Amino acid sequence: MLRPPELPYSGRIRQARYNITMLDPGLLTDVADLAARSRPEPVRLTGHRPHSPAAEHLKRTIAHLRAILAQPALAAQPLVLSTATQHLAASVLAAFPTNAPSEPTAADRADARPPALGRAVAYIDDHAGQDITVADIAAAAHVTIRTLQYAFRRHLDTTPLGYLRQVRLAHAHRDLRAADPYSGVTVTGIAARWGFHHPGRFSALYRRAYGRTPQTTLRRNAR
């Protein structure tokens, strides 16, 4: 269950063992596919009970993020914290009922033009090393979040965060190629620097993009 601060609830606990995960409700507006700037109300949850099977995905997400953030070296990386919290918020939105509309409107489609997409891409390219959200990208492109999502799907066949991940992966590739393997630099450290907190997933993304493992790229520098 989830306890939105604005919704009343009551219940009786006879015997229980549970974990509590807390998040800033503002994160939901930051990551939701919502025309937030054209509506005065923020994204909010409208119920306590999750959808199924999204609830199981949310449970796995929380367990994974707890394991990641329990590692001090990863938790100290700003981009790891950023991607982890956005992942959590997106999983909550997928699991619980909200007031956020899901489909783009006619106005969203009309605004999803190449100039707006170009502004978004330029902002991502310039700020990939910083803690940015979909809301930040939409504001830089002067469009709503929902318009931004539609523009990326229509013109680039990806999402804003998917494109941001590609850019950060390219930066990680550059750092791996430039790294001295005898200096103590590790693949895990470089991946975390660019917000990739799961080594296995980073390796899979890297291999798909560059045709080899990140370890291979780092080892080549020793020759």
Topology adopted by domain 165-220:
Arc Repressor Mutant, subunit A (1.10.10)
Per-residue pLDDT at 128: 95
Q: In whole angstroms, what is the distance from residue 118 CA to residue 138 CA?
A: 11
Q: How far, in Å, are 24, 46, 105 from residue 88 at the CA level?
A: 11, 18, 26
Q: What pLDDT tens digit does each residue of the chain (223 aa) get?
A: 787 777 788 888 888 888 888 888 888 877 775 434 444 467 888 888 888 777 888 888 888 888 888 888 888 888 888 888 888 888 888 888 888 765 656 666 666 788 899 999 999 999 999 988 888 898 899 888 878 888 998 899 998 989 999 999 999 999 999 998 888 899 999 999 999 988 888 999 999 999 999 999 998 876 6
Query: Which residues neighbour 63 within 8 Å (Cβ) at sequence distance 6 or greater?
Result: none
Per-residue pLDDT at 38: 45
169 φ, ψ to 5°? -65, -40
20 φ, ψ to 5°? -115, 125
Per-residue pLDDT at 35: 38
Q: In whole angstroms, what is the distance from residue 43 CA to residue 154 CA?
A: 24
What are the structural domain ranges in the chain?
A: 165-220
Q: How far, in Å, are 23, 57, 86, 121 from residue 166 at the CA level?
A: 27, 24, 17, 11
Per-residue pLDDT at 39: 47
3-state SS track over 29-91 = HHHCCCCHHHCCCCCCECCCCCCCCHHHHHHHHHHHHHHHHCCHHHHCCHHHHHHHHHHHHHH
